[in-house]
Structure 1
Amino acid sequence: MTTRMRLLVSVRNEAEALLSAEGGADFIDLKEPRDGALGGLPVATIRSIVQALRGRDIALPISATIGDVAMHEADLIAARVEAVGACEVDYVKVGIAPSLQAAAVLDRLAASRHAVVPVFIADAGLDFELIARACRLGFPALMADTADKRAGSLFACVAAAELQRFVATVREAGKLVGLAGALRLPDLPALRRLAPDFAGFRSAVCAGDRASALDGQKVRGLAELLG
C-alpha cells in the first residue's frame, strides 16, 4: 500500500504556524530560517506557538529545532533538547554533522525523555555507518537536510542513489524518514520517486527567499500537489 508523502512546513511565528495549518500542512516545524539550517527559536516563542495551535484544537504534530550546535558541545545539545522538549512539542530536531563526536551524541540523544529526530546534514554526503547506528537506537524518525541553502536543493548536493539508500535504510528499521533542504516545486518528481514519509519545505512556500514571510497560498498549492 502506498501512503501519501506528508508535508512539513517550517515556520517562525504564530501567524505562520496558523497559515500552515490552515493551508494543509501535516507537520508544523518551528525554526528560525535566518539563523542557519536548523536555526532555533527562543523557548518562549516555541511555547507560545504550541499553546496557540493547541488552543485552537489544532492537533497536527509539532517539531522544533534546537539551533545549530556543534557536535563537540554535547552538554549544550542535551540542555537545549530538554528546554525545547519541555515546551510540549511532539518532536525535537537535532542536526547531526559528520564528526568524531557524532556517534556519542546520538547515544546520548537516544537516552532523552523527549522524542528526538536526528537530522543528518548531507552537504558532504551521508555517513551510513552513523545512520545505521541511529537506526538501531530508539528514535521515531530520521531526516536528511542540507546546511548551505544557497548551494541548491538537497538533490543538487546528494546523488539520488544515496538518498534512495537513506530512505530504504531508515524505512527498513521501522522508522519514519524525512527529506528536506531548500526543496522547490521542480523537486517534486524526484521526491515522489523516493517516497519519503514526509518532506520539509520552507523556500518553496515563502513570498521571496526562505527568510521572507510565509505565503499561505503557496502552502495550499503545495499541499494540493502532494495530496
Structure 2
Amino acid sequence: MTRMLASVTGVDEAEIALSGGVDIVDLKDPKAGALGAVSTQTIRRTISFIAGRAPVSAVCGDLPMEPETIRGKVEEIAATGVDYVKIGFFPSENVSACAAALEPLAARTKLIAVLFADLAPDFELLPMLAKHRFHGAMVDTAIKANGRLLDHLPPERIPGFIDRAKSLGLIVGLSGSLEAPDIPRLLPFAPDFLGFRGALCGNSGRVGSISAEAVAQIRELVPEESRAGGPSSVDYRLLAA
C-alpha cells in the first residue's frame, strides 16, 4: 500500500495534515531549498504535538557532500527523536564516503537517501546505500522551477528503480512537485510513499501554507490502507488521461 507523505513547516501545518489523514508528516522549510531544514526546536515541538499519531520525518537541508558536515547534521536531527531523517545525495565523488559516515547512525534512526531526478541520478548507488544500512531511498527534484518528477524521470525508468531498491530491502518514495494527475500514473509502480508539498498549498505555491481542502483532494487520490480493496469514487482513467 502506498502511503501519503505531506511536507509541513511546523505544528500548525502538521495539525492540518493530520486532520486530513496523511500517513507521514515530513518537516521541511520550502523557502530554504529543495530540502530546506527547519530548526530542531520546531521538530521537537511537532513530534510532541503529533504524539505518535503518525510517523515523522525531517530533512537535513541542502548540504555539501562532506562526510563530517552531513554526519553532524544528521546526528543533530536524529537526536530530536524523529522517525526518519532524509539526506540529500547530490552528485559528488564523496557520495560513498558520506553514506559510510552515516552507517553508525543507521542502527538507531531510519535514514532515507534522497536522489534528484533533475540531476542525473545514479541508481547504481542503491546497493551502496543498502550496504551502509540505509532504511530507504527516494527520488525528488532539486530545482522546483524546472518541472515535476515525470518531466525528468521517464516512467519507463521508475519500475527499475523501485524494484531494485525493494530487492535490496529499501523502502522507496517518489516526490518532486507531484500534482493530482501524477498520482494515478505513479500508483501502479507501488512505491512505499508519495511525497507532496506544492499540491497541498492550493494556488499559493509550495512556499505558501497548506490548506485542508488541498490535503483532502490529494488524500482522496491516494487510497488509504483502511479503504484498500473497497470501492473508490475516483475515476483514475480520467486523471491519467
Alignment-derived partner of residue 136 in structure 1: 131
Post-superposition offset of 1:221: 1.9
Q: Contact (CA 8 Å) 1:12, 1:31: kept in 2 or not?
A: yes
User: Could you say which residue in structure 2 is the equivalent of 1:29?
Assistant: 26
Determine the structure 1 residue equivalent to 2:219: 223
Tell me if the contact between 2:144 and 2:177 (Cα under 8 Å) persists in the aligned partners: yes
- After TM superposition, the structure 1 = structure 2 runs for residues 57-136 of structure 1, keeping only pairs within 5 Å, are 58-71=52-65, 73-112=66-105, 113-136=108-131
Residue 110 of structure 1: CA displacement?
Answer: 2.0
Aligned to 1:15: 12
Asked whether the equivalents of residues 180 and 221 of structure 2 are also in contact (C-alpha less than 8 Å), the reply is no
Q: Render the CA deviation track for 1:95-121: whole Å, top value 9, x for unaligned.
A: 001210011111111221422111112
Moved over 3 A (4+): none
Normalising to structure 2: TM-score of the pair? 0.88
Secondary structure of the corresponding residue to residue 123 of structure 1 = helix
Deviation of 1:124 (Å): 2.4
CA distance in 1, matches of 2:128, 2:110: 17
The corresponding residue for 1:212 is 208
Alignment coverage as a number of residue pairs: 220
Tell whether the 8 Å contact from 1:154 to 1:180 is kept in structure 2 after alignment. yes
**Which amino acid is the alignment partner of residue 68 of structure 1?**
D
Is the CA contact (8 Å cut-off) linking 1:82 and 1:114 kept in structure 2? no
Rounded to whole Å, the distance in 1 between the matches of 2:93 and 2:180 is 36
TM-score normalised according to structure 1 size: 0.93
Check if 1:182 corresponds to 2:189.
no
Among candidates 135, 142, 148, match of residue 143 of structure 2: 148
Counterpart code for 1:26: D
Partner-residue secondary structure (3-state), 2:137: strand
Question: Partners of 2:200 and 2:92 in 1: how far apart?
Answer: 32
- Where does the alignment leave 5 or more consecutive residues of structure 2 unmatched? 224-241
Alignment deviations for residues 30-70 of structure 1 (CA, whole Å, 9 cap, x no partner): 0100111100001111111111111xxx4211000111101
In the alignment, the residues of structure 2 paired with residue 219 and residue 110 of structure 1 have an alpha-carbon distance, to the nearest angstrom, of 35
Q: Percent identity?
A: 37
| Unaligned ranges ≥5, structure 1 | none
2:192 equivalent in structure 1: 197
| Higher mean C-alpha displacement, 125-134 vs 61-70 | 125-134
1:153/1:182 contact within 8 Å kept: yes
Q: Distance in 2 between matches of 1:175 and 1:140?
A: 5
Separation in 1 of the partners of 2:120 and 2:214? 30
Distance in 2 between residues matched to 1:5 and 1:62, nearest whole Å:
16
Distance 1:161 1:99 in 2: 25
Q: 1:218 Cα shift?
A: 1.2
User: Residues 68 and 101 of structure 2 are in contact (CA less than 8 Å); yes or no, is this contact kept in structure 1?
Assistant: no
